[in-house]
Amino acid sequence: MLYSSQMLTHRDPPGRLFLLGMILAFSIGLVACTSGQPGSSHLLFSLGYGNTDLAFSPPSGPSTGFGLAVQRGMITVFSRKDRKLVRYSAYGEPLFMLYDPAGGAVPQLLGLRLSAGDNGTETARSQGRAAVQTSFVDPWPWAIASDQTVYIADILGNGSSQLAPRPGARHMIRKFDSQGTEEDPIGADGQGGSALKPIQGLEALAQGLLAVTTSEEAGIRISLYDRNGALTSSLVLDYRNLPVPLAVTKALQNRDHLMVVPDIESILQGTLKGEPVAILHVQYHLAAQPAGTEGTSDILETHSWLLIANLANGSIRAAFPFEDPKTRRKIPQLVGLSEGSVVGILWDDEGAGGTACLFDALQGRIMRRIRFDPGHGTSLLSIKVADDGRLYLLAAASDRMSIHAWRLTGR
């Protein structure tokens, strides 16, 4: 499918500007999904509600974000409200905790305590298990690399813990090694230079790269940093100049009163065939434009698409409608990449269950459906596609949280 001649903006340090024309040709033949057989799944373990290394505060309120990450068989849960990160084995054994005591956390099984920046005892380091104290202002978002390096976006403050940042607060990314020793930050005059703009997302990629999504006046910037914290490239997504699929522009034929209004629903980063990519879930709204005005009125129809862009140079690798080809139902949530497939979720009308649809990332065909359901009476806290070809889900019930896994691929 062809694109209208619009561009993404790519900036390489120290600031050279490249405008990359994007006229793409794709021959997309969407095929029906395979039958919706459940994937191999099981409950991995449960966590209680409380303040120890085996429990978290019950989810409530707008600032209680939960995050889930899985790297090399180890499962990490992060709570923004508790200001606490805990790494578990696949069987639920706590291996490491990084926490701010002001959030109320108290180690229970992790009896070896270290202070951030302190090497601690030889016994603690050899066992690799510790509860490490630090302090946060507003720790969110976060990411974990394959070597268990922890990246947490925070605000440069006066050391006090507060969920509401001060006016003019300076944003940075704090970095902790696998044992909790804090290293130089990215931004805030640490690695990477001056303070960052408000951070919307972090994703640890292959080859030690960290993708950082920040807010811009006209859109979004995705910056790549290497393992040493040096900025390697920067891609700007301008809301006013997003590429528009030819299939969408054709819908405007003989409808001069309509205009296309792109809206980025979500963005994820990943690695596709060895290249760092951004996956954009874009809603293209067809809206009426009243005569003689610059505003828009009612949205008449919406086209849901995925755009996959190379983060190093801004070129588009693939683009296709993000919908179920059998029912034309739009896929509401993008969750990640799994071995060359983009994973989207069709949620059930009730509960935390649904169907994971795996799209071929370069051709746009749905290759497989996987049914998942963590059980009656649960709600979703976090969902993640991991490097082991599984879909992981953190669910909440009235008396506990639980972590589940479903196999997405054949290996």
pLDDT at 222 over 50: yes
The residue type at 308? I
Model pLDDT for residues 178-211, shown as the tens digit of each residue: 999 999 999 866 555 567 888 999 999 999 999 9
Mean pLDDT of 269-291: 90
51 contacts 106 by C-beta, under 8 angstroms: yes
Mapped onto helix, strand or coil, the DSSP state of residue 112 is: coil
Phi/psi class of residue 148: alpha, beta or left (left: φ > 0; alpha: ψ in -120 to 50)? Answer: left
The residue type at 404? H
107 contacts 113 by C-beta, under 8 angstroms: yes
The pLDDT score that the predictor gives to residue 325 is 85
pLDDT at 219 over 70: yes
Q: Pull the structure tokens for residue 68.
A: 């889930």
pLDDT at 347 over 80: yes
pLDDT at 30 over 50: no
Give me the sheet containing 316-321, strands edge to edge.
258-272, 275-288, 299-310, 316-321
Environment class of 108 (CB within 10 Å of its CB; exposed 0-12, middle 13-18, buried 19+): middle
- CB half-sphere exposure, 36, CA atoms < 13 A: 11
The pLDDT score that the predictor gives to residue 328 is 86
Higher pLDDT, 101 or 118: 101
**Residue in this structure with the two tokens 């919908």, named with its chain if needed:** 323
pLDDT at 6 over 60: no
- Indicate the pTM of the whole model: 0.84
Please, which residues bridge with residue 76 across strands?
69, 87
Residues whose CB falls within 8 Å of the CB of residue 164, separated by 6 or more in sequence, listed in order: 138
Model pLDDT for residues 241-261, shown as the tens digit of each residue: 889 999 998 888 878 778 888
- Sorting pLDDT into bands at 50, 70 and 90, what band is 111? low
> Strand ranges (DSSP E) for 134-181?
142-144, 150-156, 170-176
217 contacts 271 by C-beta, under 8 angstroms: no
Which of 149-158, 306-315, 332-341, 350-359 is predicted with the least confidence, judged by mean pLDDT? 149-158
Parallel, antiparallel, or unpaired: how do β-strands 130-133 and 94-99 relate? Answer: parallel
